[in-house]
Amino acid sequence: MSHDPNCIFCKIIAGQIPSKKVYEDEDLLAFHDIHPWAPVHVLIIPKLHIASMVELTEEHVTLLGRMSVLAPRLMKELGVSNGFRTVINTGPDGGQEVYHLHMHAMGGPRPWLKG
């Protein structure tokens, strides 16, 4: 399934739910997390609906690589200059709440809400 009509992030991609976008291209979208844990907190998502890291196969390697390369670029553009954290939560014990693969990229001066 490339798109799940019940998925909140697929709805953001489709423009059915508003988001504060910071980056978009053919394959990826990045937007501010609605409940930030850090002064700067964005989510980087593939436009393809992939529920979690459990679903990943070799065909997704480039996509994941592009998400990883985008994180430091966005942190820099958003003024983060002293390091940042990237997190991908997977499954119930991983604390995943939204089942559309996403990379959290968090930065800015501490203290942070989480961590």
Which residues are the active-site residues?
102
Q: Does 1 bind ligand AMP (CB under 6 A)?
A: no
Side-by-side strand order, sheet with 103-107:
21-24, 28-32, 40-46, 103-107, 84-87
Determine the interface stretch with ligand AMP among 31-39, 55-63, 66-74, 107-115 (rule: CB under 6 A). Answer: 31-39
**Taking CB under 5 A as the rule, which mask of x and - marks residues 9-48 in contact with Zn ion?**
xx--------------------------------------
Among 41, 47, 100, 104, indicate the residue that binds Zn ion (CB under 5 A): 100
Q: Does 51 bind ligand AMP (CB under 6 A)?
A: no
Q: Does 45 bind ligand AMP (CB under 6 A)?
A: no
C-beta closer to ligand AMP: residue 58 or 64? 64
**Is the peptide bond preceding residue 111 cis, with omega within 30 degrees of 0?**
yes
Q: How many residues bind ligand AMP (CB under 6 A)?
A: 12
- Read off the amino acid at residue 60: H
